[in-house]
Amino acid sequence: MRIRLETLGCRLNEAEIQRWAREFQALGHSPGASGQDTDRALEQPVDLVVVNTCAVTQEAVRKSRQLLRRVQRQNPRARLIVSGCATALDETGLAATGLDHSGIDLLIGNADKDRLVEIAARELALPIMPATAETSQANPLFARGRQRAFVKIQDGCRHQCTFCVTTIARGPERSRPLADIVAEIQEAAAEGIQEAVLTGVHATGYGADLGCRLEDLIAAVLRDTDIPRLRLGSIEPWGLSEGFWHLFENPRLAPHLHLPLQSGSDRILKRMGRRCDSATYRALIAQARQGITDFNPTTDIIVGFPGESESDWEQTLNAVTENGFGHVHIFSYSPRPGTRAAGMDGQVSAEVKRARTRELNQLAAQLKKATLQANLGRTLPVLFESGLAKAGGAPPCGYTPNYLPVRLESTATPGPRHHDWTNRIAHLTLTGISADGCTLLGMPRAIEARPVNP
C-alpha cells in the first residue's frame, strides 16, 4: 500500500509520524512524502492517509481542520486515519473539522497512538508482508524528505501550567524504556541518519517513572550508538542536575537548547504556573554559556497572557534582550478550553497582542542577526537537509551543531554548488548573512560524512 503521513505542530508529532512510517514499512507498505512536502507526491495516488493533528493554539486547530479537508480533497479514494490533540480535547472536535464521520475510517486517541499501526492493521484489515519477505533497508525518513530522526522519549506531563492544553490532551507522564530508545537511534544511525533529536512533552522529566533520568538516557545514547549528532528538543528550564551540563563535553551532543521562558515577568510566570522565575532562568543561561562551547539558546514566548500589563511586557522584552536568544518562537496567547488561564480575568485585546508580537518579532530578528554575525569568519560543520542546487532553484541548506541555519554561498564553484549535499556533513567557512538576516552563507571546505543513498 502507498501511505501518506501528514502532521503539523510539535516535534513530538513529527517523532510519532516517523515511528509510524517505520512500522508501516515493516509491514511491507510504502510510506512517502506528504502533499505539503512535494508536488510530486500529489502525482501518485495513495491508498491510506494518516493525519496527526495539533491543538496547542486556536490557529493550530484551524490548520488541522484545513489539513483534513485538503487530504480528503486530494485523496478522495484513500482511507483516512486521524489522531492527535485536535481530536482528543472534546467530542465535538471531529464535527468541527467540517468532515462527516463517513469521511474518516479510523479515529485513534492519544492514549493509543503508540499502537496506531497495530490498530490500523487490525481494524482496516491492511495487508501484511510475509515474514519471509525482504524489505529495503532505506530509512522511510528519506522517502519523506527528512534528514533528522525525531525520537519520542516520553509523553504527557505531571505539571499543570495554566495555559497548557497539551497536558490535558496527552495525559500523565509515560517514559519509553531506555533500551528501546537507544536501539531506535542505533538503527537510524546504521541506516545513514546523521542526527537524532530527543523529544517529549516534558523531556526533562524523562525516567521519573522508570527510576532513571534524562542524563542517563543521553549518556547511554552517546555511549551505545554511532549517531554522529545528538540534539535535545524543547526542555523545561528546571530539574537539570550538574551532571547534565558535563554531558556537553562530548562534541556529538549539540550545543543548543530550546528552553521555554514564556514571559520575563515573575508575576506573569506565577500566573502561568511556571516553576522557574526570571532570575533563575537567567542564571541557567549564564551557567550554560560558561560551560558549553558555542552554546546557542532559543526559547518560546507567549504574548498577551491574561493580566499582562505594559510593565510585564517591558520586563519580557528586557529578559529576551539580556538572554540574547538565537531564535525566539512567538505565540500569541489564545484561550484553550479546559485550561485555568482561559477563565482568568485581564484577557488582553487582539490589537494589543498584535502590536506586542510585532515588537517582539523585531527584537528577535535583531538578536538572531547578532548571533549570526558573531559567527562570521568561522569554519563549522554543517549537516545539509536540502541538497541539490538545480538551475534557478534554492541552494543547499543545513544547520551547524548549535542550530545556526546555513546556506551554500551562491558564488560557490559549479562543481560543489551542483553536488547533491543531502544528508552530508561538511565544513563550511561562514562568509556572510542572507539579505533577510535569517541565514548564514558558507563556502565548502570538505565533505566529512559518508555518502548516503536514500
Band of residue 421 on the pLDDT scale cut at 50, 70, 90: confident
Instruction: Give the pairing of strands 397-399 and 405-408.
Output: antiparallel
Overall average pLDDT of the 350-360 stretch: 98
Rounded Cα distance between 78 and 331, Å, is 35
> Do 26 and 115 lie in a common domain?
yes
Retrieve residue 49's grid coordinates: 492517509
User: How far, in Å, are 8, 74, 426 from residue 36 at the CA level?
Assistant: 10, 11, 28
Q: Are residues 118 and 55 in the same domain?
A: yes
CB atoms near residue 175 (< 10 Å): 23
Query: What tens digit of pLDDT does each residue of 232-284 get?
Result: 999 999 999 888 999 999 999 999 999 999 999 999 999 999 999 999 999 99
pLDDT digits (tens, 9 = 90+) for 423-436: 889 999 999 999 99
DSSP conformational letter for 299: E
* pLDDT level of residue 145 (50, 70, 90 thresholds): low
315: in domain: no
Assigned domain for 297 exists: no
Burial class (CB in 10 A: 0-12, 13-18, 19+), 132: exposed
Query: Between residues 304 and 158, which one has the greater pLDDT?
Result: 304
The residue segments making up the domain with residue 211 are 147-254
pLDDT one-digit tens code per residue, 70-126: 888 888 889 999 998 887 765 445 555 444 455 789 999 888 889 999 999 999 998
| 116/124 Cα distance (integer angstroms) | 11
Cell numbers found for residue 184: 531506535
What pLDDT score does 249 carry? 96
What are the residues facing 405 on neighbouring strands? 399
Cell representation of residue 174:
509515560
Check which CATH number belongs to the domain holding 407 and give it.
2.40.50
List CB contacts of 420: < 8 A, sequence separation 6 or more.
Answer: 387, 388
The answer as to whether 128 is a domain residue is: no
- Least Cα distance to 52 among 2, 24, 10, 91 occurs for 10
Contact between residue 341 and residue 305 where contact means Cβ atoms under 8 Å apart: yes
CATH number at residue 182: 3.30.750.210
Do strands 440-447 and 296-303 pair parallel, antiparallel, or not at all (unpaired)? Answer: unpaired
pLDDT, one tens digit per residue, over 385-394 is 876 555 555 7
What pLDDT sits at residue 387? 65
Residues 106 and 154 in one domain: no
pLDDT top residue among 260 and 25: 260
119 and 151 share a domain? no
Q: For residue 82, is it within any domain?
A: yes
**Residue 379 confidence (pLDDT):** 96
Same domain, 99 and 187: no
Q: Report how far apart, in Å, the C-alpha atoms of 56 and of each of 337, 354, 378 are.
A: 11, 19, 38
**pLDDT confidence of 43, banded at 50, 70, 90?**
low
Q: Are residues 176 and 223 in the same domain?
A: yes
Q: Kindly report the three-state secondary structure assignment for every residue of 267-296.
A: HHHHHHCCCCCHHHHHHHHHHHHHHCCCCE
Would the pLDDT of 41 be above 50? no
Q: Quick one: 100 and 58 in the same domain?
A: yes
**Percent of the chain's residues with pLDDT above 90:** 61
Q: Indicate the residue type of 277.
A: D
**Percent of the chain with pLDDT strictly greater than 70:** 85
Q: Which residue has better confidence, 407 or 138?
A: 407
Q: Say if residues 351 and 393 touch (Cβ distance below 8 Å).
A: no
Together in a domain, 90 and 184: no
Say what the pLDDT of residue 99 is. 47
Question: How many domains does the chain fold into?
Answer: 3
From the CB of residue 367, how many other CB atoms can be counted at a distance below 10 Å? 18
Residues 42 and 95 in one domain: yes
Minimum mean pLDDT range among 35-44, 47-56, 288-297: 35-44
Give me the sign of the Cα torsion angle 151, 156, 160, 166. positive
**Where is the domain boundary, 123, 139, 162?**
123
Residue 160's pLDDT is 86
Handedness of CA 257, 262, 264, 267 (dihedral sign): negative
61: DSSP letter: H
12/111 same-domain check: yes
Asked whether residue 342 is domain-assigned, the answer is no
**Do 117 and 191 have their domain in common?**
no
| Domain finish residue from 254, 280, 308 | 254
Rounded-to-integer distance, Cα 37 and Cα 57, Å: 23
The answer to whether residue 436 sits within a structural domain is yes
The verdict on 75 and 156 lying in the same domain is no
Would 266 be classed as within a structural domain? no
- Model confidence at 33: pLDDT above 70: no
More confident residue, 275 or 60: 275
* pLDDT average, residue stretch 360-364: 97
CATH number for the domain spanning 58: value is 3.40.50.2300
Phi then psi for 50, rounded to 5 degrees?
-120, 125
Query: Given 220, 254, 288, which residue is the final one in a domain?
Result: 254
Whether 135 is in a domain gets the answer no
Confidence band, pLDDT 50/70/90 cuts, at residue 407? very high
Query: For residue 118, how far is the Cα from the chain centroid?
Result: 25
148-174: per-residue pLDDT in tens?
899 999 999 988 899 998 888 888 899
154: buried, middle or exposed (CB in 10 Å: 19+, 13-18, 0-12)? buried
Closest CA to 5 of 23, 22, 17: 17
